[in-house]
Chain A
Amino acid sequence: ISSPIGGAELLFDGVKKHQVTLPSQEEPWDIRNLLLWIKKNLLKERPELFIQGDSVRPGILVLINDADWELQGELDYQLQDQDNILFISTLHGG
């Protein structure tokens, strides 16, 4: 499972692409869990500029395999092996 980050990369030490292997857990991984995991493991600073509440900050788009996450259940989408999750910030100043 990989998750490249576009635009908002500054909060991730400037790294745009993250190839990550998620630890196995009992319940299946969904986006909701992934965000929590990212917050804990990948975000380098100011998590509030990326995550608000249990979702991404309004203005940050989420693409699952290059398609709108709104088509795929948003937070409830269950991750598959080799999924490509892309975050694009449309906020001013990235």
Chain B
Amino acid sequence: MCQVGEDYGGPGPAELQPKLSWRGCEQKCMKCKEGLPVLIIRAGDAFCKDCFKAYYIHKFRAMLGKNRLIFPGEKVLLAWSGGPSSSSMIWQVQEGLSRESAKRLRFVPGIVYIDEGVVCGQSPEERAKTVTEMKLILQTVGFPYHIVSLEEVFNLPTSVLQPVSQGPRGSENTYKEAVDGFIQQQQQQQRVPEEGGREAVLSDEQIQEKLRQLSTQDPVGQEEVTGDSLPRPAQIMALMTLFSSVKTLTAREELLQTLRAHLILHVARVQGYSKVMLGDSCTRLAIKLMTNLALGRGAFLAWDTGFSDDRHGDVVMLRPMRDYTLKEIAFYNRMFGVPSVFTPAIDTKAPEKASIHRLMESFILRLQAQFPSTISTVYRTSEKLVKAPRNGDAAGAATARCLLCMCALDIDSADSATAFGAQTLEHLAQKPSPAPAPPTGASGRPCCAQGTRLQQDCCRDTRPLSEREEPRASFIEQLCYSCRVNMKDVPFLEPLPPYILMESQCRRQRAWEKQEIQEFLFEESEEDKDEIYQD
């Protein structure tokens, strides 16, 4: 693990003048041994303000430096919710970009804010007020930004649900080459306008100039994504219908996360960002890990909670704030005046047991209050998870992906004694007509096997599908275990945004065609089949 850099060890000036003599705080800052401590982090380490700042900034740069995933000059989209973690992330990026040339971060940032007001119970006036507040902050930051309302999901293309495969890259060597190339290129650029001269200063100005240009261009870019600054009333209604049709808060929260992820991905693709930074903190990730386990997403934990998430292929999601606890973030924001905007979330003021997310949060935090290493232990686990290779071959048409969360399908073939099997059985018991046919695509890897001891062979039981129920049954078939469970609380498919339904139909069509063709083929090995199909 990354230790706090010793080079920061210089005694921080003890500027902090305490207003009062604090009782019971004889201790000094554990770093500089001089400053008055203002907070305790980890297991009882007291830090003074200056040492905490150095520690905090170092951590962000170390996280990026350690992972070496962001190439110089790359466009990186910062997903901002207005909350403390993502706000802090933006400030860290800004800090990193304002450094002198040797230590400066070298990527080109942009910010996306998704206005979810409609599902969080905000009135149109409140939403307008929030957006104004957001804009004010965004303008002081000075990065190009995109404000998108959640209603935009009704305009998304189906391509959002199709992963774009990309050749493997990012090995140590190529990263170094990229950095060297970038530096050389930069030096050449500088030499042209002014022979030698003050390179560092000049490049600073250049970048600032560039950023300014981007910012002024922004209204155009924003137009492209949002179309209109205000969503149309019909879409607001449609979104409200969708969310009110969902039966539980757990499913609503999951649906919101899915739609939000699709929107962010779309903005990134349209605007040419190849990386997206998310603001998940260590505390949040520990909670998310446990929540997702409970939701049946165990097979995807490495993607859902790891540092990088490459499920979409071309756009990679990163979580650079994953080393910070929420306590550190809250203190930093408070001490150094990082502005954040409070907006109600979908579960604001909900009782503690209203959803799995909510329950898991209070469970972890209460455990943490008694056992201070709870969160870090859970979090370290998420660090160690390794992404399973997808059946040996490179990602592509061969792997079936969940329609909603875009993870490789974790479903079993027929006949399994797993939670998945039990879930299918349950589904059958409730609604006798739509017996799901065996999964059409590649039969997934062995399921996460959550040890339900039910032996059944429901999937062989292929009763005729009733015409009306068929779309739903085949829609469900295209989902992973967790999304299937979740869809149980979404009684109607119709209110879902069109891009999801269209892609679902498309996949069904493709599967059907594939089946048709196969009837004319002799039994062949898997590879041959694929070849013929591609021809």
Contacts and interface: CB of A to CB of B under 8 A. Distances in A.
B346 interface: yes
B519 to A, nearest CB: 51
Contact of B22 (A58, A59, A67, A94): A67
B330 interface: yes
B216 interface: no
Contacts of B361: 59, 91-92
Interface string B337-351: 000001011111111
Contacts of B329: 90
A88 B20 contact: no
Nearest to B84: A90
Interface string A50-94: 000000011101010111101111000110101100101011111
Contact of A71 (B38, B345, B352, B366): B38
A1 to B, nearest CB: 12
Interface string B355-370: 0011001100110110
Contact of B20 (A46, A80, A93): A80
Contacts of B357: 92
Interface residues of A, number: 34
B84 to A, nearest CB: 7
Given A59-B361, A71-B40, A93 B347 contact: yes
Contacts of B40: 68, 70-71
A79 B39 CA distance: 19
Contacts of A46: 349, 351
A7 B342 contact: yes
B369 A58 contact: yes
A77 to B, nearest CB: 8
Contacts of B368: 58
B345 A66 contact: no
Nearest to A88: B330
A73 B350 CA distance: 31
Nearest to A81: B20
B283 interface: yes
A61 B330 contact: yes
Given A73-B23, A93-B345, A67 B327 contact: no
Nearest to A71: B25
B453 interface: no
B46 interface: yes
Contacts of B334: 6, 63, 66, 86, 88
A93 B38 contact: no
Interface of A: 6-7, 9-11, 45-46, 48-49, 57-59, 61, 63, 65-68, 70-73, 77-78, 80, 82-83, 86, 88, 90-94
